[in-house]
Amino acid sequence: MRFLASRRRHPAAKWLLLLFALFVLGGAYNAFAPAEQVSADTGNSQQVAQGRALFAVGCASCHGLNGEGQTTSTIQGPPLIGVGAAAVDFQVSSGRMPMSKPEAQAPVKPNRYTDDEIAALAAFVASLGPGPAIPAAADYDPASVKEEDIARGGELFRTNCSACHNFEGAGGALPGGKYAPSLIGVSNKRLYEAMLTGPQQMPVFSDEVMRPEDKRAVIAYLNDLHSRPIDGGLALGGLGPVSEGLWAWIIGIGGLVLFAMWITARGAKAK
Amino acid sequence: MTEDQGAEGDYERGHGDLRIGHGDHSISSDHSAEITRLDETHYPVPDPGHPEHLPRLADVDPGAANRATRQVATFFGLVPLFAIAFGVVYFAVPGDSYFHFGPLRANARNLGLGVSFGLGLLCIGLGAVQWARTLMDDHEMVDYRHGAASAGEDKEYLITELQKTADEAQLTRRKVIGRSLLGALATIFLPMLIGLADLGPWPTKKKRAATIEATIWKEGIRLVHDVTYKPIKAADLEIGQLVNAEPENLKDLEGTAFLQAKAKAAIIIVRMNPNTIKIPDSRKDWQVGGILCYSKICTHVGCPISLWEQQTHHLLCPCHQSTFDLGDSGVVVFGPAARALPQLPITTDADGYLVARSGFTVPTGPSYFERDSRRDFKRGDN
């Protein structure tokens, strides 16, 4: 200590002390700073930049360069500010977006984007405004749903979904060429994202009102419904009176008409 | 009376003068001429009559007849086989085995029972029809009809008989018996009309206002989720959101009262961008930041509707395609409904939950004769 005390007025002491303080500060910063977030942030901004570039090519012609939307010109697209990453993931991974032409409703078609590109697009759109994030597997995995919750999911489905999607989730028609698509074979993630974001004409079912466990119950109900064997013979698509009526009138009544024609037809004559 | 005139060769085929017969009342030649004339004036195309009768193959060829006999006997002979198959399926096929064929999946036993019994019945029918078509006698015949009225002497006979009976019962001499009996028969059934009161209360204006025109909505009742009964916070609703909801006091009810209250009080809550919808001045304070609440019951015949397009704001009833514009106070834009969908005035309570400002201002539900529709919202009202 005497060594330090005797040299405290040495001309170099001030500089050495400054250097020491800087080392301590830098070391402490290194130790406490959230290093992962820093690196992720740079990664994210790269992702957003990549997403912006993809957006300008694939989406901007309808949705505007910054996702502000176009509602007055001939080519129209809704604003995407605040729709969130979940909406982008739903629309692009199912091939609905980008649309190939303006029409009543965007149909499902093969998706041309890689998972990384979809993630980049989603990151860019999410950066435009706060919106629902892409759900994690734990959100939509119905494995933990109990039997009684599956029954409750059925009640929720029939109250909220069956008006458009039919009681079996087989889909249905809407006015003006629009339609509610079939839910048979749709992945759990997409079911969850659709309820969360309300794509196209579908209303939104936000997490606060239709809680994540309610959504999982609906998904579990649909999985259960669609994995259940049909013991009644031909289900005819589960479309109710439409397909059953077609069957009854064409096959049923048609067959009876043919029989009646055979009964009254003039058979072979002798000359 | 049925008479086989064809076998007797009583009418001529293929000459367009088929007489309209009068059964056994013989027709004078004048009468028949009159009918022929009527036919000519009323039908511009002459009646071509029946085609010429030709014998069938089995009528002239014994080989063909034997072949037809074998066919019929084969159909009938298959029936016992199907009956045996039915019994075999019943005992041999286990009840839990299933038959798979493309989209068809069925319980194997039920399918087997149905197919064997059905084919058995079908064979009886096919045999009978083939028998009738090929072997049974096939001559055409005319089945003459009577006129509907009785003959004059029959009528007179009945009247004299009735008169005789009345005389024997002294009804003509002591008229008071007949009259008092008529009075007795009339009055004994009158009390049955009283039973009609059980059909329900007389739908006076006051009664209607207390029953079908009333819902359990009133000021301060919270709007709750239809299935979970969770109250709904205004802040939790996003633009484009739809909630099927009920009044919170519905859960206090049970049984019939619950169902009747729910059938009238069911609502849908939607949130739209307030800048893209029309809110009339009179309904400025009926909504909370673009959150609007409507009756869920179609004004046409009362189907519950929740088929809402969030971008066009149209609500479509799946029963008869009535379409209501929820962005324009629920007016009808298409379909058979005659009245706008009733809107429920809402606001928020101190905790931010949606509550009713009042009950519905007009009766919810379908039309009925006495319903006053003067206070309903019409397109262009403000």
Planar angle of CA A135, A141, A142, nearest 5 degrees: 135
Cα-to-chain-centroid distance, residue A26: 44
CA distance A229 to chain B (A): 8
Interface touch A159/B226, C-beta < 8 Å: yes
Give the pLDDT confidence score for residue B39 in this predicted structure. Answer: 54
ipTM of the complex, rounded to two decimals: 0.72
Cα(B209)–Cα(B202) distance, rounded to whole angstroms? Answer: 12
State the angle between helix axes of A115-128 and A35-58 in degrees (0 to 180), rounded to the nearest 10. Answer: 100
C-alpha to C-alpha distance for B67 and B53, rounded to whole angstroms? 22
Average pLDDT over residues A84-89: 92
- Among the residue ranges A75-89, A146-160, A245-259, B238-252, the one predicted with the least confidence is A75-89
Interface of B with A in 239-268 (CB under 8 A): 239-244
Is some CB atom of chain A closer than 8 A to the CB atom of B57?
A: yes
Q: What is the per-residue pLDDT across B41-57, written as a single tens digit (0 to 9) for each?
A: 667 777 777 778 888 88
Model confidence band, residue B260 (pLDDT cutoffs 50, 70, 90): very high
Tens of pLDDT, residues A91-137 = 999 999 888 888 888 999 998 899 999 999 999 999 998 888 999 98
Q: Which of A234-238, A266-270, B233-237, B287-291 has the lowest mean pLDDT?
A: A266-270
Q: How many angstroms away from the CA of B237 is the closest CA of chain A?
A: 7
Name the closest residue on chain A to residue B266, using Cα atoms.
A159
Using a CB–CB cutoff of 8 Å, tell me whether B306 touches chain A. yes
> Average pLDDT, whole number, for chain A?
86
The CA distance from B295 to the nearest CA of chain A, in Å, is 15
Confidence check: pLDDT of B144 > 50? yes
How many angstroms away from the CA of A30 is the closest CA of chain B? 41
Chain A contact probe: residue of B57, B96, B122, B242 with most A CBs at under 10 A: B242
Q: What is the mean pLDDT of chain B?
A: 86
Has residue B158 got a pLDDT over 90? yes
When pLDDT is cut at 50, 70 and 90, the band that residue B87 belongs to is very high
Cβ atoms B306, B321 nearer than 8 A: no
Instruction: Using an 8 Å CB-CB cutoff, list chain A residues near B291.
Output: none
Nearest to B242 by CA among B217, B276, B278, B272: B272
- What is the three-class DSSP state of B50? coil
Distance between CA atoms of residues B120 and B117, nearest Å:
5
Distance CA A242, CA A238 (A): 9
pTM above 0.95, yes or no: no
Average pLDDT over residues B260-268: 94
Task: Determine, for residues B59 and A270 on separate chains, whether the beta-carbon distance falls below 8 Å.
Answer: yes
